[in-house]
Amino acid sequence: MRSYLVPIQAAFLLFPVLAALFSLPYVVAQYRRYGALLLFRVLVVYSLILYLMCAFFLTALPLPPISQVAKMTTPIRQLHPFHFVQVFLQESCLVPGDPSTWLPALRQGCFYQPAFNLLLLFPLGVYLRYYFKRGWASTLLLVFSVTLCFELIQYSALFGIYPRPYRVFDVDDLFLNTLGGMLGFWLTPALSWLLPTRQQLDTLSYRKGRRVSYPQRLVAFCLDWGLLAGLVTLAHRGSGWPGLRDLLGLRSWGAALLYLGLVLLYFVALPWLTGGRTLGKALVGLKLAGEGGERPRFWQILVRQGMLYLVFLPAPVVALRLFERRAALSQGLTLPVLVLFSLLGLVSAFFVFSLFAAGLTRQHRLPYDKLAGTENRSTVARRGGEEVPRS
């Protein structure tokens, strides 16, 4: 039993890393397709990833020492169909005419191995029919392809890392894995009758996506600044341009001018030319629009982005810079610095309070949107083809 627990433990330990790498592309794809992120769909997809990791690790782990594998002389392939039946009849205590031997025979290792292979891809058949809506022929092909990949990886000595295969390429494994996957396909209606159908999940996602959510806007924001951070980092190498830390901290006049230029070019000029889209907004299916859904005017974009990127977001950073230099600036400038510091603190507090209040009241427009007469709208289309404005 320990030989099964070790691979499963390894899959659970590695899963958070793989999930973290998968999350951003998955979230972007969900917002772009449905306009919303549905928790149940997330649970289904991530459970599938965890299951596939467990299935692969069960066929590859534990990894033996290379020196031990080099000394192996056991066969590397088994090509006789239904050989597992012959092994079970020879090695088990089963006596067909004696019912008292039937149950003990099922507790022996020669039964566990084929039973494990039968169950290994059973969940895959369920996932393929329930979530991916595959037919029996498509499921058969996909399940067989997966088990063939597992066997070929074993036969390749784990992509040539080992001098020879440390597990046997077994034709019976292909048969049992495929049969298990098809059993999962056939039994899916009995196992999933309490769960929402894929069509219901899609309908609920589209319905939820009618309203642009703050997480969706946050993902677009992170994508935009991730792109700009990469460009600034590349430009900083081998040049005198301010680096990313200087830019985000506004540590110099050069950094402040670079920040202003990026805001005007990327967050003002680009949306004006593209009808309210930045790269981040386009990836998650968002755009800036007027209150009636029309293309935003230049002054609207300038006011909105200027309030957000030149007032609200820099306010706490500038306040921090003033606090760090308070000793040098206090000579003859105590009152002006104090007033400016207080104003920056009030602006920051007002922005945080606005975000908090909007989240509680489910308001989709923040102060800078109301001032500019803009709102975020979704570009996600329904299956009928028409665009659904979601503010």
pLDDT at 389: 41
Nearest to 273 by CA among 297, 291, 306: 297
If DSSP codes are grouped into helix, strand and coil, which group holds residue 290?
strand
Q: Considering just the CA atoms, what is the radius of gyration of the chain in Å?
A: 30
pLDDT: is 87 or 115 the higher one? 115
Q: Angle formed by the axes of helices 2-34 and 214-236, to 10°?
A: 100
Check residue 335 and give its pLDDT.
67
Q: Give the mean pLDDT of the chain.
A: 87
200 near 40, Cβ under 8 Å? no
* DSSP class of 288: E
The whole-angstrom separation of Cα 55 and Cα 123 is 10
Strands (E), 53-107: 77-78
**d(C-alpha 313, C-alpha 311), whole Å:** 6
Q: Is the pLDDT of residue 361 over 70?
A: yes
How many Å apart are CA 155 and CA 137, to the nearest integer? 27
pLDDT over threshold 80, residue 103: no
Structure-block tokens of residue 26: 């998955």
Q: Specify the pTM.
A: 0.82
Would you state the pLDDT for residue 329? Answer: 55
Question: Residue 52, Cβ neighbours under 10 Å: how many?
Answer: 17
